[in-house]
A and B are shown apart, each in its own frame.
Chain A
Amino acid sequence: MNALQDLSVAIQTKLGRQNIRAFILGSIPFVVILSLWYMNGAFQWLEPIYLPSIGEVIESAWTLQEECGGFGEIISLKNSCLLSTHILSSVGRVILAAAIGLPLGIAFGVLAGMNRFISRLLEPIAIFFNSISGIAWIPLAIVWFGVGWVTTLFIMLNTIIWLMFFNTMLGVRGIPRVLEHSVLTMGGSRWDVIKDVYIPGAMPSMITGMRMSMGFGWRALIAAEMIGGDSGLGFMIFSSAEEFKIEEVFLGVIIISVIWMATDRYLLQPLERYTVERWGLVWKPK
Chain B
Amino acid sequence: MTNNLTDRLNRFQAFWRHFSGAEAINNILVICIILYIWNFISGAIDNPARYLPAPDVVFLSSFDLFHKGLLPVYFGETMARLVTGSFIGLALGIPFGLALGLNKTISDIFHPILNFFQSVSGIAIFPIIVIWWGNSEKTVLAIILYTAFFPVAFSVLSGVRTVPMRYVQAAQTLGASHWQIVKDVLIPGAMPYIATGSRLSIGFGWRAVIAGEMLAGRQGMGWMIFTGQDADRTHEVILGMVVIGLTWIVLDRYLLRPFEADTIERWGLVQR
CB distance A253 to B124 under 8 Å? yes
12 contacts between A and B (CB under 8 A): A21-B108, A26-B111, A30-B116, A124-B26, A131-B244, A133-B206, A133-B244, A135-B210, A135-B214, A136-B225, A249-B127, A257-B120
Question: In this complex, which of B123, B130, B206, B246 has the most chain A Cβ atoms within 10 angstroms of its Cβ?
Answer: B123
Closest to B242 in A: A132
Question: In this complex, which of B31, B214, B252 has the most chain A Cβ atoms within 10 angstroms of its Cβ?
Answer: B214
**Interchain CA distance A29-B109 in the complex, whole Å:** 7
* Interface residue? B128 (CB, 8 A): yes
Q: What 1/0 flags go to B226-248 for Cβ under 8 Å of A?
A: 10110000100110111011101
CB distance B50 to A125 under 8 Å? no
**Interchain CA distance A225-B210 in the complex, whole Å:** 15
Closest to B109 in A: A25
Q: What 1/0 flags go to A53-69 for Cβ under 8 Å of B?
A: 00000000000000000
* Interface residue? A286 (CB, 8 A): no
Query: Closest CB of chain A to B259's CB: distance in Å?
Result: 17
CB distance B241 to A50 under 8 Å? no
Residues of chain B within 8 A of A222, CB atoms compared: 121, 123-124
* Interface residue? A238 (CB, 8 A): yes
* Interface residue? B148 (CB, 8 A): no
Residues of chain A within 8 A of B255, CB atoms compared: none
**Interchain CA distance A141-B85 in the complex, whole Å:** 28
Interface residues of A (CB under 8 A from B): 21-22, 25-30, 33, 49-50, 120-121, 124-125, 127-129, 131-140, 142-144, 218-219, 222-223, 226-227, 234, 237-238, 240-241, 244, 246, 249-250, 252-253, 256-257, 260-261, 264
CB distance B241 to A140 under 8 Å? yes
- Assess A26 versus B113: contact at CB under 8 Å? Given A139-B225, A222-B123, A226-B126: yes
Residues of chain A within 8 A of B50, CB atoms compared: 143
Residues of chain A within 8 A of B234, CB atoms compared: 140, 143
**Interchain CA distance A249-B125 in the complex, whole Å:** 8
Residues of chain B within 8 A of A264, CB atoms compared: 119
Residues of chain A within 8 A of B228, CB atoms compared: 139
**Contacts A140-B238, A227-B215 known; 7 new A-B pairs at CB < 8 A:** A25-B109, A125-B30, A132-B241, A132-B244, A135-B123, A222-B123, A261-B115
Query: Closest CB of chain B to A250's CB: distance in Å?
Result: 7
Interface residues of B (CB under 8 A from A): 26-27, 30-31, 33-34, 50-51, 105, 108-113, 115-116, 119-121, 123-128, 130-132, 206-207, 210-211, 214-215, 222, 225-226, 228-229, 234, 237-238, 240-242, 244-246, 248-249, 252
**Interchain CA distance A199-B270 in the complex, whole Å:** 29
Query: Closest CB of chain B to A199's CB: distance in Å?
Result: 27
CB distance A261 to B119 under 8 Å? yes
Residues of chain A within 8 A of B214, CB atoms compared: 135, 138-139, 227
CB distance A237 to B127 under 8 Å? yes
| 6 nearest CB pairs, A to B | A241-B127, A139-B229, A26-B112, A132-B245, A25-B108, A131-B248
Residues of chain A within 8 A of B109, CB atoms compared: 25-26, 28-29
Closest to A253 in B: B124
Closest to B27 in A: A124
CB distance B225 to A143 under 8 Å? no
Residues of chain B within 8 A of A124, CB atoms compared: 26-27, 30-31
CB distance B210 to A249 under 8 Å? no
**Interchain CA distance A25-B104 in the complex, whole Å:** 11
**Interchain CA distance A234-B131 in the complex, whole Å:** 15
Closest to B108 in A: A25
Residues of chain A within 8 A of B132, CB atoms compared: 50
Question: In this complex, which of A26, A142, A261 has the most chain B Cβ atoms within 10 angstroms of its Cβ?
Answer: A26
Query: Closest CB of chain A to B159's CB: distance in Å?
Result: 19
Residues of chain A within 8 A of B33, CB atoms compared: 121
Residues of chain A within 8 A of B244, CB atoms compared: 131-133, 136
CB distance A26 to B30 under 8 Å? no
CB distance A136 to B123 under 8 Å? no
- Assess A135 versus B237: contact at CB under 8 Å? Given A125-B30, A250-B128, A253-B120: no
Residues of chain B within 8 A of A218, CB atoms compared: 121
**Interchain CA distance A49-B130 in the complex, whole Å:** 12
Residues of chain A within 8 A of B125, CB atoms compared: 253
Residues of chain B within 8 A of A261, CB atoms compared: 115-116, 119
